[in-house]
Amino acid sequence: DAMVIQNPRYQVTQFGKPVTLSCSQTLNHNVMYWYQQKSSQAPKLLFHYYDKDFNNEADTPDNFQSRRPNTSFCFLDIRSPGLGDTAMYLCATGTSGKNEQFFGPGTRLTVL
Amino acid sequence: GEDVEQSLFLSVREGDSSVINCTYTDSSSTYLYWYKQEPGAGLQLLTYIFSNMDMKQDQRLTVLLNKKDKHLSLRIADTQTGDSAIYFCADPNQAGTALIFGKGTTLSVSS
C-alpha cells in the first residue's frame, strides 16, 4: 500500500542533544511537509519542500532544519532541542495544485 | 491573519448524531477538509468539500458549507464508540501552500 512512514515512532532525547526524525513516502508526491503538534493544539506547519525547493515558515525557530535528499525521503533535524520542543512531529505529503495532504503516524518526541 | 476556529469538546451517546462546527476566515479556498486523529496516531483525511457545494454526503458523514457565513460543519450519523477521536477542520492558506488547522474537537462517545 502507498503510504507515509515515520521513524522512529517514539524518541526521547536530552536537552541540547541533536536529534533527527525521518519520513519516507511511497506515494511519489512532490510536496513534503513537517508539522509540530503540541498537546491539545492544532498541527503547526514548520516548513515544506516543493520538489527540492525548501520553504520555511516565518516563525519556525532556527533550531529546526530539514533535508530532502530525494523524492522519497525527508528529515527533520533539531540541532539543540529544548524542553519546549516536546511534541508530536507529523510528516505529510501532497501534490502541487491540490491541498489534500496525506499524513504519517507521527513521531512523539520527548526532551528531558 | 488566516484562522480556523472549532469548539473543543463534544460528548454524545452511541447511536446519536454528532455535529462538529468550524468557522474559517480565508474564503478563497477551493476545498475545505475534515481530518480525524485517533490517540497517538497521525491525521487521517475523513472527507472534504468543494467550495462550490453546499452539502456533501458520504455514508454516515454529512458536510455542510455556508460560504456566506464561512461556516463548515461535520455531521456523523449513528455515532459509534469507534468514532471517538479528535476532529480537525482545515482550510488551505491563501497561497495554497499549507493547511491551516483548527485546534480540534474532541468527540467522546459513550455507550
The pLDDT, as a whole number, for residue A95 is: 86
How many angstroms separate the CA of residue B41 from the nearest CA in chain A? 5
The pLDDT, as a whole number, for residue A1 is: 65
The pLDDT, as a whole number, for residue A41 is: 87
Q: Which residues of A touch B31 (CB under 8 A)?
A: 99-100
> pLDDT tens-digit profile of B2-61?
789 998 999 999 999 999 999 998 777 788 999 999 988 889 999 999 988 899 999 999
- For the residues of B54-103, what is the DSSP string, one character each? SEEEETTEEEEEETTTTEEEEEESS--GGG-EEEEEEEE-TTSSSEEE--
How many angstroms separate the CA of residue A42 from the nearest CA in chain B? 4
Instruction: Decide if B98 and A90 are in contact by the 8 Å CB cutoff.
Output: no
Instruction: Decide if A103 and B92 are in contact by the 8 Å CB cutoff.
Output: no
Of B30, B92, B102, the CB nearest to A42: B102
Task: Please check the confidence at residue B72 and state whether its pLDDT lies above 80.
Answer: yes
The pLDDT, as a whole number, for residue B28 is: 78
Instruction: Decide if A42 and B96 are in contact by the 8 Å CB cutoff.
Output: no
How many angstroms separate the CA of residue B7 from the nearest CA in chain A? 12
> pLDDT tens-digit profile of A4-21?
999 999 999 999 999 999
Instruction: Decide if A92 and B101 are in contact by the 8 Å CB cutoff.
Output: no
Rg (CA), chain A: 13
> pLDDT tens-digit profile of B83-105?
999 999 999 887 777 888 999 99
Sign of the dihedral defined by the CA atoms of residues B105, A11, A18, A101, in that order: negative
The pLDDT, as a whole number, for residue B11 is: 97
> pLDDT tens-digit profile of A46-101?
999 999 999 998 889 999 999 999 999 999 999 999 999 999 999 999 987 767 88
Of A41, A55, A90, the CB nearest to B42: A90
Q: pLDDT category, A2, cuts 50, 70, 90?
A: low
